[in-house]
Chain A
């Protein structure tokens, strides 16, 4: 068997704007690199150089690497070539060094930060990543789970990892990555690829028990250590979207110090409980998931973390979105998932504290600061007990009102 026979033909990436398809075709040496690009005269050399560098890292000496590009950014080109080589059967000889090519400058997040809007970015479609930081979302959620078909999981996790490491167009947003469930075939590989790129938050789907969280917590900790990141740096947000998960919500919410929020997944939940919408009978829309949502809110606040609501899927219906966000807020949720950037301003405004809440918060903080100057730990404002958690919440209200993260 000749050496090149152990590698197979492979490709990664999609024929789409701001993306490229990289392919590996086994064959005799020496290695050939063929680039076709809509920006060839401007970036052809750069694309070729990237292919050579990655081929060297992977010890590829024969066959052909083809790149068919339509203006993909550098991180994307590199991710596609790397994914193609992985899928062809190569492995990176100097993985550690090449994994973090630039010093990471991402600012830290905080447990208390505002998470009104988390914009879903399908993990294998890089053109959705362009300018994602400019649309006003509090969080960007790169999705490796439902928006990526199984045969593209490798492509997506390498693309998202590169995008996180490139650290462009992420702005001051909190960076979340939704991985695949650890019970399935992809979850552990997702973590191995994503943790060293240090997202602020890992979103863990289909959580059904405290054990699910502990398992993720442990694995993330192990990966943090081997990547030289302080243990506990990365937050967790469990996503609860099944009947079993709802019934275990309080244990899930309190299962790890990493948890900063717990999140409800409506679509999967409705399927899981076999609820069938019937316009003929007079059960108001949303009744089937109301109790589950309230259990999420209870579980979250019992553990002192945020409750995040599911998506509102009709992207044309602005008024419906605003109403739905206000309803979520009235129930105790502090944010929701967003599918289209145009929904962001509407949802942000709906989750923004009212003028009245803002004034009230100012009053609380002012009174507290005066009192603590005099050495008092608690006091009452307008007949209400004010202690440290109330003050912290008031400060958050002031920040949210001002539109700060």
Chain B
């Protein structure tokens, strides 16, 4: 056995059982994190290291000086503050003022409040968006105003793309209603409380640099770590990260639209008749008027039949919280909160489980929450006679919505129900071919409209269960013709050849493209 001596004079064998031993030296290979250094650096850090770590920077300018974001960088944001977010616009305008160009914006979702980005899109400060594109930004993309081809991903696919290195984030800006100086953060408390912060978790784990921006700084340690400070480089305290009152998705009041109510009630009736509504079942529903009403009608049936659900998944609402408190629901697995009542309940009721895109939808995970769902109630802008669903563009070809968790939930839940009116204004929703294909028909089991229910023939089990039950069953083809009699047959929109956005499937393959409108 050969021996050597380490820097403290202790005798160390050079090798034991085939392992070469490295003697301890004054220049430690592992040392404490120093904000601003890309990697923990080798060296004698004994003196600076033992001071309490404080990742705070004094101002936006100091932060941006330290980040030195270059042209073409990819910056990311989460959408937990929904239409109340102030951080995306703040960061982009400050970067623009510093002359940065060609940014790639990889927010988990964008909202109408972000229409303020349009001038930066037109001037080339932002040259690509990998996110959802709604309203004016979607329209700008459709009209070819965004320099590069954009990418639409579901929440699950986005997590996969980040983990796989397909979506490389240079700086993740994480708005946090509550954070400590170390960067631990959550959305449960603080004046801007917005509920979970899970959408930002993949970004916090994979981005080259992570910034927590908070208007609710608390002494270390903050109580609940949605974001682990160990992943965070800098903490910036600001006056306000946004207006949490604006997270309300539409209204939490039950819709008064009789057409929506018919669809919602038919949906609930289907779920009961098909035998899905039984003790211990689970469901996910969006926050649209129909989904919300469907939950209210389903709850009524659960009450009457004395059935309790194990859990609901997705966006928390006051309506779901009501069911939780009533004991009709075992727990809510929350990805986000759609109203302040859900936010409050997340903080107070231990039966909320905060999730993230990996746990909820991760396409490469060893199963996800969506796989545990018995039924998912989702919306659509169009459905075609082969059950293919479009959630991204309207019939006129305008890009108007992100995918959200649609494809993740649709392809995983035991029964996927699409609720939609058969026409909106004069626009038929049931089409021969969808304008943009977001989700293949094989994952779509049931379409519920005000004019009846269409069941995918591949779901023989469902067809069998509800046949003869008095539910108004229709074929999509019949329905399409009936609706065309009301609306007339629309012309096809005109497109140029140039793709303006890719629509990814959950595995990163391209399921469709969106073309530039020819107007």
Q: Give A contacts to B, CB under 8 Å.
A: 17-18, 38-46, 70-74, 130-131, 134-135, 168-169, 340-342
B519 surroundings in chain A (CB, below 8 A): 41
B451 surroundings in chain A (CB, below 8 A): 134
Contact present for B427 and A71 (CB under 8 Å): yes
Contact present for A342 and B258 (CB under 8 Å): yes
Contact present for B486 and A39 (CB under 8 Å): no
Docked CA distance A341–B450 (Å) = 14
B494 surroundings in chain A (CB, below 8 A): 41
Contact present for B450 and A134 (CB under 8 Å): yes
A162 to chain B, nearest CB (A): 13
Q: Flag B403-438 by CB within 8 Å of A: 1 or 0 each.
A: 000000000000000000000111100000000000
Question: Known interface pairs A73-B487, A169-B486. Does A39 touch B258 (Cβ–Cβ under 8 Å)?
Answer: no
Q: Flag B232-263 by CB within 8 Å of A: 1 or 0 each.
A: 00000000000000000000000010110110
Contact present for A42 and B490 (CB under 8 Å): yes
Contact present for B488 and A74 (CB under 8 Å): yes
Contact present for B491 and A41 (CB under 8 Å): yes
Q: Which residue of A lies closest to B395 (CB)?
A: A42
A-B residue pairs in contact (CB < 8 Å), sample of 15: A18-B426, A38-B425, A40-B396, A41-B491, A41-B493, A42-B490, A46-B491, A71-B425, A71-B426, A72-B425, A135-B262, A169-B486, A340-B256, A340-B258, A341-B258
Docked CA distance A44–B450 (Å) = 27
A342 surroundings in chain B (CB, below 8 A): 256, 258, 261
Q: Flag B484-505 by CB within 8 Å of A: 1 or 0 each.
A: 0111101101100000000000
Residue of A41, A72, A341 ringed by the most chain B CB atoms within 10 A:
A41
Taking a contact as CB atoms closer than 8 A, the residue among B259, B397, B427, B485 that contacts A39 in the complex is: B427
Docked CA distance A72–B425 (Å) = 7
Taking a contact as CB atoms closer than 8 A, the residue among B256, B395, B425, B517 that contacts A70 in the complex is: B425
Docked CA distance A41–B427 (Å) = 11
A135 surroundings in chain B (CB, below 8 A): 258, 262
A281 to chain B, nearest CB (A): 36
Contact present for B426 and A41 (CB under 8 Å): no
Docked CA distance A45–B491 (Å) = 8
Docked CA distance A345–B488 (Å) = 31
Q: Flag B465-492 by CB within 8 Å of A: 1 or 0 each.
A: 0000000000000000000011110110
Question: Known interface pairs A17-B425, A39-B426. Does A134 touch B262 (Cβ–Cβ under 8 Å)?
Answer: yes
B490 surroundings in chain A (CB, below 8 A): 39, 42-43
Q: Which residue of B lies closest to A132 (CB)?
A: B258
Docked CA distance A273–B432 (Å) = 60
Task: Kindly list 12 other residue pairs between chains A and B, CB separation below 8 angstroms, not including A18-B425, A41-B494, A341-B258.
Answer: A39-B425, A40-B396, A41-B491, A42-B493, A43-B490, A72-B426, A73-B426, A74-B426, A74-B487, A134-B262, A135-B262, A342-B261
Docked CA distance A165–B45 (Å) = 87
Q: Which of B448-462 contact A (CB under 8 A)?
A: 450-451
A343 to chain B, nearest CB (A): 10
Docked CA distance A263–B167 (Å) = 69
Docked CA distance A43–B486 (Å) = 13
Taking a contact as CB atoms closer than 8 A, the residue among B396, B426, B450, B491 that contacts A131 in the complex is: B450
Docked CA distance A82–B49 (Å) = 83
A252 to chain B, nearest CB (A): 34
Contact present for A42 and B486 (CB under 8 Å): no
B262 surroundings in chain A (CB, below 8 A): 131, 134-135
Docked CA distance A46–B484 (Å) = 13
Docked CA distance A340–B519 (Å) = 41
Taking a contact as CB atoms closer than 8 A, the residue among A38, A41, A43, A74 that contacts B397 in the complex is: A41
**Which 9 A-B pairs rank lowest in CB-CB distance, beginning with the nearest?**
A71-B425, A42-B490, A341-B258, A71-B426, A41-B396, A41-B493, A131-B259, A168-B486, A39-B426
B384 to chain A, nearest CB (A): 16
Docked CA distance A73–B487 (Å) = 6
Question: Known interface pairs A18-B425, A342-B261. Does A43 touch B485 (Cβ–Cβ under 8 Å)?
Answer: no
B429 to chain A, nearest CB (A): 12
B258 surroundings in chain A (CB, below 8 A): 131, 134-135, 340-342
Docked CA distance A340–B258 (Å) = 9
Question: Known interface pairs A41-B519, A134-B259, A342-B261. Does A46 touch B425 (Cβ–Cβ under 8 Å)?
Answer: no
Docked CA distance A342–B254 (Å) = 12
B256 surroundings in chain A (CB, below 8 A): 340, 342
Q: Which of B65-85 contact A (CB under 8 A)?
A: none
B433 to chain A, nearest CB (A): 14
Docked CA distance A17–B425 (Å) = 7
Docked CA distance A168–B484 (Å) = 11
B493 to chain A, nearest CB (A): 5
